[in-house]
């Protein structure tokens, strides 16, 4: 097990390094990083050269990279072009909002999807099953921004149950969380169903029944634990996307998380902030995947002991 | 020259790595030497994981060897250039265990049998076509089968197609890797008889890999017994079944079910499970399960020796016996 | 009934009731509806100018924010009403189909082609190439892509081509992993070994025996991927980082109309939203059906 | 055999619906098992032997259907409630499977899975479940049983895993053990040990065993009687010695002759021509007629029934073979 943990940890660190490098390379995509940074500002030639020198862009590329790396290791991803504050610090202040939103959304998604998936699998082919699966197919097909707009139109404008946007108490959190939850909810419900059906066809389920186990034990213990493995992967993936990619939901509802902050930064062409946001989100994502690997090792003895 | 295939000190090792990343070396085939004589059926017997299939693949150069040589009709296959090897492949063919698995599900039966000729550009289109029909007849299939696809035929028929495909280029040598083990008993006999007939009429040489001792006894002229990557005994079939020398061969034979209710009941040989092939013991590989293990077995790896004419065995029991008797 | 002994009842049932293309099942009505819906969308994408009653960008300021015909102030010339600039919504929805499908399909084809090629090579030849490609795929999967995509677009600027490229870069990983996995298992299959033993060259084995056998899995995955690509494209357009006006795109229509929706003009966002949902839903339904028919054991 | 049979199966049918009508995987299967007897259920793949035993345990899952009469220890199993049936499974009737590695749940320890049997059957409640579970492993000759309780299935070899399965089956002290190809996935040397274990269980515990297999050689020394199935039907049932000495159904004779037998090297194997029929397109009359060397006109029109010849032998043939 320890060997497995170590290997996963090394992989996570390497991945994080690779992601940071890609984000660093973003500015060089069009050739001249300074031009990107100054785009939209009426800067003269001397300003450009000054900035190039001040930011070190006139040094050889490998040196620039090493400089970036050594700074990044110390948590320095540059300063915001607007406020001059450290970009990473600015972004981190917004993480709390995003985590709140993601946690509530994932809770909502799981509370609905897992029972739905189980019921569908147990009553496979029934009217209930077909209705639930059709609904989840529709849920999976609705683009999130339209869902958000519908939520606002119905629950904020028409019914006036919840505010249409902004931040505050749980009231403000509910609509964005429900919006964000819809896709994973539908996706996970379908996955729980198919994964459970797959497991129910396995020999060990037949063998468990042949041993005279109660159906509740066969399904509730053997089938569910085995079916959980693929579900956990998708749950983690979706949660990771929420942490980093709740961009659209946050934009629609004006929820001040990392996503909205990033979009604002893009419109303001504040690139260090955008970079910091991508690095931070990827970091959370990678850390989450690492935790899932540990969870896998704990759930599946074949990984733990091999 | 009567030896068609000569295998010399062949080794195939695999670097294996578990999900945890621990590296180890699997000695799948370890210092194996033997010859296959023209027109004989040499059987290779052993339990799962003993390396018999890897050995077959290595001989055919489908698997890279770690060291050693394989001579086919005097030419060293391991030293040939890719083009020359490809030309030589026409003369050696292989039949696998799973009849449906050895046919491409998207290739019709006729095309599958024709493929070898297409690959080596043999004959004109018409000649290839008539050869396909000839081959179908040879393996006992109807010409109409040519239009069908693998999922439309039974396992026994699929195995016949695989045999026809192997015969398309007039090979001298065929490796049959468990050709009947996944077939039903009544179909098994059909395929075994077909293989025997083809050998007689086409002068083929077989390396026949199997785990069923009764099938091997029926079908082979000589038998090599494999254990954990090694050949532990090699003898003429009748001799081996009448007088197995290696304790492992004896245990195998004692374990095989005898299809005779009147045969005296025998206690099974309790030789436990096969040890982990990743960590072979320093001495004899069979030592941990051997009822007759001696001190020397734990330290010295026995070599395959001809203890009697045509009877080879890798066991410390025999050279000692010989020495004491002479 | 000559397949290897069915080890479990499930295998037996599968063997006895194996689904075939020709069979009509209860869910097939849904599939038929999805097929017709998608066909209609494709027709819209092919000949939008013929179908649309008005040019998509024709503005009539006097006719702003007209509701659909069946409502009180509705105008029969604008069946689905008009937007804030008096443009005909029906015409714009019809024209929007074109860019969604063009962008979606081109990104799909580029990423599918690259991904399958890379995956095939990695899976068939193994070795260091395989190691590196799969590492790269892991790294890419560890990035929340929406965020990275908008960052890239922000750097290289939004244009139709850039959107396609960003979407294609996102997509290749799925195909590469799929093709690699299938190639890895296929190359160990006895029939591939048999062709190698026959002396077939690598290109022949890969192109004639491995590629055709993984195509059905690729088609299934591609159909489900297409839905994702179209969603992502409309999301980027919604954020103003995707398709740029005057090209009509559903995502941009939604972004453009959202403030007017709050004022009560629900139709400006409802119809483009419905169009996207209908497209993605029908693709999803058909993809699901394709999987059942072509490759029921495929896990996605 | 004066005592009443332990198990009586009469006219058992198992059907699976398919697009082209339903397929009868087992069609009118009848046989009996007496206490502490080992019966071999022999046939080729697809002959219906596995579904038959699943039906005995009432484990055929929808959409499969089954009907017929199953009487076990005087109780009509078809009339039992699901609850009573469940207590019977793993209790008085146990079952083991072909591949022990897939029949054990990979994510729970072996001890946990054995304990479940005790927890699911009130009649088996013992003081300490762990001790009872260890005793189960000891009974099937697994060394160091107490420590092995904490092991996961993948840590066992195939042979050891099959012992665990057998042990679990014995936990409920069954009077009938159904073993579905218990050695097919194992090596020869391990197979011999498992068969020996089954023999010892019968001696010691007087458990009757139904051994399902496609390999007649296995049945020769282990089984008291053999039931031969072909295309969903029982074609012959007979005490082992008589069956080997003088098979009465041409199919049984064909099977015996086509099987290479250790120590009986022949120049050429006899072979049964053709292949088993597709259950979706069965021939009219006798199902074996198309492959039968003795088939006559009657065989192709009239389906034979299973008849007793009085000496404990049954055969489904219009023209049964006489002793050679």
B16 at C interface, C-beta within 8 A? no
Give CA–CA dist A159/A153, Å, rounded.
9
Residues in chain B: 326
Does pLDDT of D58 surpass 80?
yes
| Helical axes D158-171 vs D110-120, angle rounded to 10° | 20
Does this model's pTM top 0.80? yes
* pLDDT value of residue B322: 53
Cβ neighbors of D303 (< 8 A, separation 6 or more) are D284, D285, D286, D287
CA distance A169 to chain C (A): 22
Give CA–CA dist D85/D64, Å, rounded.
18
* pLDDT value of residue A110: 96
Q: For residue C235, give the nearest of A23, A143, A152 by CB distance.
A: A143
Q: What's the pLDDT band for B273 if we cut at 50, 70, 90?
A: low
Residues 9-68 of C with CB under 8 A from D: 9, 12-13, 16-17, 20, 23
* Contact criterion met (CB < 8 Å) for D220 and B218: no
CA distance A6 to chain B (A): 9
Cβ neighbors of B286 (< 8 A, separation 6 or more) are B227, B228, B232, B246, B247, B248
Mutate to test the interface with C, among A20, A141, A248, A284 (most CBs of C within 10 A): A141
* Contact criterion met (CB < 8 Å) for C200 and B184: no
User: What are the tens digits of pLDDT across the range B224-245?
Assistant: 999 989 999 999 999 999 999 9
Q: For residue D269, give the nearest of B218, B252, B269 by CB distance.
A: B218
CA distance C24 to chain D (A): 9
CA distance C199 to chain A (A): 38
Q: Give the residue from C284, C233, C289, C235 showing the smallest Cα distance to C111.
A: C233
Does pLDDT of C6 surpass 60?
no
**Tokens at B238, concatenated:** 């009748």
| Helical axes A224-245 vs A271-299, angle rounded to 10° | 170
Asked whether residue C40 is assigned to any structural domain, the reply reads no
Question: What count of CB pairs under 8 Å joins B to D?
Answer: 134
Q: What's the pLDDT band for C20 if we cut at 50, 70, 90?
A: very low
User: What are the tens digits of pLDDT across the range D265-296?
Assistant: 777 888 888 888 888 888 888 999 999 988 88
Give CA–CA dist C92/C76, Å, rounded.
16
Give CA–CA dist D95/D177, Å, rounded.
6
Residue D264 pairs in a beta bridge with: D261
Strand (E) or helix (H) holding D39: strand D38-42
* pLDDT value of residue C296: 64
Cβ neighbors of A187 (< 8 A, separation 6 or more) are A113, A136, A140, A234, A238
Chain B residues touching residue A4 (CB < 8 angstroms): 19-21
Chain D residues touching residue B196 (CB < 8 angstroms): 268
Q: Give the residue from B286, B296, B287 showing the smallest Cα distance to B227.
A: B286
SS3 (DSSP) at B291: coil
> Distance between terminal CA atoms of chain C?
30
C5 at D interface, C-beta within 8 A? yes
Residues 25-44 of A with CB under 8 A from C: 26-27, 29-30, 36
Give CA–CA dist A11/A18, Å, rounded.
10
How remote is the C-alpha of C144 from its chain's centroid? 19
How remote is the C-alpha of B116 from its chain's centroid? 22
* Contact criterion met (CB < 8 Å) for D214 and B186: no
CA distance D290 to chain B (A): 14
Q: What's the pLDDT band for B321 if we cut at 50, 70, 90?
A: low
Q: What's the pLDDT band for A245 if we cut at 50, 70, 90?
A: low
* pLDDT value of residue C21: 37
* Contact criterion met (CB < 8 Å) for B22 and A303: no
Asked whether residue C198 is assigned to any structural domain, the reply reads yes
Interface partners of chain C (CB pairs < 8 Å, 3 or more) are A, B, D
* Contact criterion met (CB < 8 Å) for A22 and C143: yes
* Contact criterion met (CB < 8 Å) for D188 and B213: yes
CA distance C170 to chain B (A): 27
Cβ neighbors of B68 (< 8 A, separation 6 or more) are B7, B8, B9, B10, B11, B31, B32, B33, B78
Chain A residues touching residue D168 (CB < 8 angstroms): 211
Question: What count of CB pairs under 8 Å joins A to D?
Answer: 80
Q: Which CATH architecture has domain A88-299?
A: Orthogonal Bundle (1.10)
The answer to whether C58 touches C88, Cβ cutoff 8 Å, is yes
* Contact criterion met (CB < 8 Å) for A149 and C30: no
A51 at D interface, C-beta within 8 A? no
**Tokens at A251, concatenated:** 């934009």
Name the one residue in this structure whose structure tokens are 């500015």.
Answer: A27
Please compute the mean of the pLDDT values over residues C129-158 and round it to a whole number.
82
**Residues C251-262: b if buried by 16+ CB within 10 A, e if exposed:** bbbbbbbbebbe
C-alpha distances out from residue D194 to B284, D74, D104, D179, D211, Å: 26, 30, 17, 11, 12
Name the one residue in this structure whose structure tokens are 């009077």.
Answer: D175
* Contact criterion met (CB < 8 Å) for C2 and B187: yes
Q: What's the pLDDT band for B95 if we cut at 50, 70, 90?
A: very high
Domain range enclosing C232: 95-298
Asked whether residue C147 is assigned to any structural domain, the reply reads yes
Cβ neighbors of C259 (< 8 A, separation 6 or more) are none
The 3-class secondary structure across chain A, one letter per residue, is CHHHHHHHHHHHHHHHHHHHHHHHHHCCCCCCHHHHHHCCCCCCHHHHHHHHHHCCCCCCHHHHHHHHHHHHHCCCCCECCCCCCEHHHHHHHHHHHHHHHHHHHHHHHHHHHHHHHHHHHHCCCCHHHHHHHHHHHHHHHCCHHHHHHHHHHHHHHHCCCCCCCCCCCHHHHHHHHHHHHHHHHHHHHHHHHHHHHHHHCCHHHHHHHHCCCCHHHHHHHHHHHHHHHHHHHHHHHHHHHHHHHCHHHHHHHCCCCHHHHHHHHHHCCCHHHHHHHHHHHHHHHHHHHHHHHHHHHHHCHHHHHC
Domain with CATH 1.10.3720.10 in chain A: 88-299
D217 at B interface, C-beta within 8 A? yes
B319 at C interface, C-beta within 8 A? no
Residue D31 pairs in a beta bridge with: D9
**Tokens at C28, concatenated:** 């097939």
* Contact criterion met (CB < 8 Å) for C194 and B57: no
Asked whether residue C165 is assigned to any structural domain, the reply reads yes
Longest CA pairwise span in chain A (Å): 84
CA distance D51 to chain C (A): 7
Residue B11 pairs in a beta bridge with: B67
* pLDDT value of residue C25: 54
**Of C6-15, D169-178, D273-282, minimum mean pLDDT range:** C6-15
Residue B49 pairs in a beta bridge with: none
D16 at C interface, C-beta within 8 A? yes
A133 at C interface, C-beta within 8 A? no
Give CA–CA dist B231/A111, Å, rounded.
60
The total number of structural domains in chain C stands at: 1
- State ipTM: 0.84
User: What are the tens digits of pLDDT across the range B20-59?
Assistant: 556 788 889 999 999 999 999 999 998 888 889 999 999 9
Chain D residues touching residue C25 (CB < 8 angstroms): none
* Contact criterion met (CB < 8 Å) for A18 and C227: no
Q: What are phi and psi of B253, to 5 degrees?
A: -65, -35
A131 at C interface, C-beta within 8 A? no
Give CA–CA dist B96/C194, Å, rounded.
8
The answer to whether D225 touches D238, Cβ cutoff 8 Å, is yes
Q: What's the pLDDT band for D83 if we cut at 50, 70, 90?
A: very high
Q: What is the mean pLDDT of chain B?
A: 88
CA distance A184 to chain D (A): 26
Which of B56-70, C48-62, D264-278 is modeled with the greatest confidence?
B56-70
Asked whether residue C265 is assigned to any structural domain, the reply reads yes
Give CA–CA dist B109/C64, Å, rounded.
68
Chain D residues touching residue B213 (CB < 8 angstroms): 188, 262
Residue C210 is part of a domain; what is its CATH number? 1.10.3720.10
Interface partners of chain B (CB pairs < 8 Å, 3 or more) are A, C, D
The answer to whether C198 touches B115, Cβ cutoff 8 Å, is yes
CA distance D74 to chain B (A): 32
């Amino acid at each position: 097990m320890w060997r497995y943990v170590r290997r996963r940890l090394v992989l996570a660190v390497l991945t994080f390094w690779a992601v940071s490098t890609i984000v660093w390379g973003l500015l060089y995509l069009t050739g001249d990083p300074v031009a990107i940074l100054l785009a939209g500002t009426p800067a003269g030639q001397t300003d450009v050269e000054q900035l190039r020198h001040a930011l070190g862009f006139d040094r050889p590329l490998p040196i620039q990279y090493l400089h970036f790396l050594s700074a990044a290791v110390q948590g320095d991803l540059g300063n915001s072009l607007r406020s001059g504050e450290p970009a990473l610090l600015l972004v981190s202040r917004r993480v709390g909002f995003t985590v709140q939103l993601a946690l509530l959304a994932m809770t909502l998604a799981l509370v609905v999807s897992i029972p739905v998936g189980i019921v569908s699998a147990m009553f496979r082919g029934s009217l209930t099953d077909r209705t639930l699966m059709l609904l989840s197919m529709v849920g999976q097909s609705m683009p999130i921004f339209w869902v958000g707009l519908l939520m606002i139109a119905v629950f904020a404008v028409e019914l006036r149950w919840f505010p249409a946007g902004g931040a505050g108490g749980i009231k403000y959190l509910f609509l964005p969380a429900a919006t964000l939850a819809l896709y994973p909810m539908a996706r996970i419900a379908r996955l729980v169903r198919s994964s459970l059906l797959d497991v129910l066809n396995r020999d060990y389920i037949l063998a468990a029944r042949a041993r005279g186990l109660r159906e509740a034990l066969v399904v509730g213990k053997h089938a569910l634990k085995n079916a959980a493995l693929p579900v956990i992967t998708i749950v983690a993936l979706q949660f990771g996307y929420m942490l980093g990619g709740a961009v659209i939901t946050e934009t629609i509802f004006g929820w001040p998380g990392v996503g909205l902050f990033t979009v604002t930064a893009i419109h303001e062409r504040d690139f260090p902030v955008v970079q910091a946001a991508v690095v931070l989100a990827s970091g959370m994502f990678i850390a989450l995947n690492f935790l899932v690997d540990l969870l896998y090792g704990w759930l599946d003895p074949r990984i733990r002991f091999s | 020259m009567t030896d068609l295939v000569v295998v010399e000190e062949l080794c195939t090792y695999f670097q294996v790595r578990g999900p945890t990343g621990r590296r180890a070396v699997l000695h799948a085939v370890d210092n194996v030497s033997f010859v296959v004589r023209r027109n004989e059926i040499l059987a290779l017997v052993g339990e799962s994981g003993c390396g018999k299939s890897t050995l077959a693949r290595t001989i055919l150069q489908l698997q890279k060897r770690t060291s050693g040589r394989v001579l086919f009709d005097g030419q060293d296959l391991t030293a040939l250039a890719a083009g020359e090897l490809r030309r030589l492949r026409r003369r050696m063919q292989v039949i696998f265990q799973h009849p449906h698995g050895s046919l491409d599900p998207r290739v019709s039966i006729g095309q599958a049998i024709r493929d070898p000729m297409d690959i080596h550009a043999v004959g004109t289109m018409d000649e290839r076509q008539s050869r396909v029909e000839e081959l179908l007849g040879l393996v006992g299939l109807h010409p109409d089968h040519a239009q069908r696809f693998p999922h439309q035929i039974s396992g026994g028929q699929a195995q016949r197609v695989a045999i026809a495909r192997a015969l398309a280029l007039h090979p001298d040598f065929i490796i049959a890797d468990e050709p009947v083990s996944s077939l039903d008993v009544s179909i098994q006999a059909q395929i075994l008889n077909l293989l025997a007939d083809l050998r007689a009429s086409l002068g083929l040489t077989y390396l026949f890999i199997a785990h069923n001792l009764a099938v091997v006894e029926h079908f082979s002229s000589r038998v090599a017994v494999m254990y954990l990557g090694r050949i532990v005994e090699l003898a003429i079939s009748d001799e081996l079944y009448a007088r197995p020398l290696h304790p492992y061969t004896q245990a195998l034979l004692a374990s095989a079910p005898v299809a005779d209710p009147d045969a005296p009941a025998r206690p099974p040989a309790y030789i436990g499970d096969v040890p982990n092939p990743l960590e072979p013991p320093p001495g004899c590989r069979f030592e941990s399960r051997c009822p007759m293990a001696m001190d020397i077995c734990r330290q010295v790896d026995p070599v395959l020796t001809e203890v009697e004419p045509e009877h080879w065995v890798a066991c410390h029991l025999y050279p000692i016996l010989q020495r004491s008797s002479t | 009934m000559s397949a290897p002994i069915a080890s479990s009842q499930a295998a037996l049932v599968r063997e006895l009731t194996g689904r075939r293309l020709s069979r009509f099942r209860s869910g097939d009505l849904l599939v038929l509806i999805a097929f017709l819906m998608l066909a209609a969308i494709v027709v819209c994408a092919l000949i939008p100018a013929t179908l649309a009653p008005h040019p998509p960008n024709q503005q009539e300021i006097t006719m702003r924010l007209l509701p659909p015909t069946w409502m009180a102030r509705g105008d029969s010339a604008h069946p689905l009403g008009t937007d804030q600039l008096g443009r005909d919504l029906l015409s714009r929805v019809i024209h929007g189909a074109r860019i969604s499908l063009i962008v979606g399909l081109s990104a799909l084809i580029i990423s599918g082609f690259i991904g399958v090629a890379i995956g095939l090579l990695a899976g068939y030849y193994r070795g260091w190439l395989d190691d590196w490609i799969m590492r790269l795929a892991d790294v890419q999967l560890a990035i929340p892509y929406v965020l990275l995509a908008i960052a890239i677009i922000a750097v290289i600027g939004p244009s139709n081509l850039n959107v396609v490229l960003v979407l294609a870069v996102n997509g290749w990983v799925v195909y590469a992993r799929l093709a690699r996995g299938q190639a890895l298992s296929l190359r160990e299959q006895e029939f591939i070994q048999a062709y190698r033993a026959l002396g077939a060259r690598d290109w022949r084995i890969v192109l004639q025996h491995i590629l055709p056998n993984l195509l059905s899995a690729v088609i299934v995955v591609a159909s489900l991927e297409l839905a994702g690509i179209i969603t992502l494209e409309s999301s980027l357009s919604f954020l103003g980082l995707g398709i740029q006006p005057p090209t009509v795109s559903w995502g941009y229509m939604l972004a453009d109309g959202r403030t007017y929706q709050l004022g009560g003009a629900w139709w400006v966002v409802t119809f483009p939203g419905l169009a996207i949902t209908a497209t993605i839903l029908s693709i999803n339904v058909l993809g699901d059906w394709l999987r059942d028919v072509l490759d029921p054991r495929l896990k996605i | 055999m004066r005592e009443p049979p332990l198990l009586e199966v009469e006219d058992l049918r198992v059907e699976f619906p398919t697009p082209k009508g339903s397929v009868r995987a087992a069609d009118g299967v009848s046989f009996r098992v007496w206490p502490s007897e080992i019966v071999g259920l022999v046939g080729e793949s697809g002959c219906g032997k596995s579904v038959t035993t699943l039906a005995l345990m009432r484990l055929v899952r929808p959409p499969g259907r089954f009907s017929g009469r199953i009487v076990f220890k005087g109780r009509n199993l078809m009339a039992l409630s699901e609850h009573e049936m469940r207590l019977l499974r793993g209790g008085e009737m146990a079952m083991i499977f072909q591949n022990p590695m897939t029949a054990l749940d990979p994510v729970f320890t072996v001890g946990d899975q054995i304990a479940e049997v005790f927890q699911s059957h009130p009649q088996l409640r013992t003081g300490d479940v762990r001790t009872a579970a260890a005793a189960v492993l000891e009974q099937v000759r697994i060394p160091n049983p107490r420590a092995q309780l904490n092991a996961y299935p993948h840590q066992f070899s195939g042979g050891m895993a099959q012992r665990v399965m057998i042990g679990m089956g014995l936990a409920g002290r069954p009077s009938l053990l159904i073993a579905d190809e218990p050695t097919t996935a194992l090596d020869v040397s391990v197979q011999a040990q498992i068969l020996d274990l089954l023999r010892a269980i019968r001696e010691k515990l007087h458990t009757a065993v139904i051994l399902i297999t496609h390999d007649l050689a296995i049945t020769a020394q282990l089984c008291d009687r053999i039931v031969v199935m072909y295309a969903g039907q029982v074609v012959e049932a007979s005490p082992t010695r008589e069956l080997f000495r003088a098979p009465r159904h041409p199919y049984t004779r064909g099977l015996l002759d086509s099987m290479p037998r250790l120590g009986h090297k022949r120049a050429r194997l006899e072979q049964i021509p053709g292949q088993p029929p597709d259950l979706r397109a069965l021939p009219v009359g006798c199902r074996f007629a198309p492959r039968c060397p003795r088939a006559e006109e009657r065989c192709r029109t009239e389906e034979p029934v299973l008849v007793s010849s009085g000496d404990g032998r049954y055969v489904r043939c219009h023209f049964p073979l006489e002793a050679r």
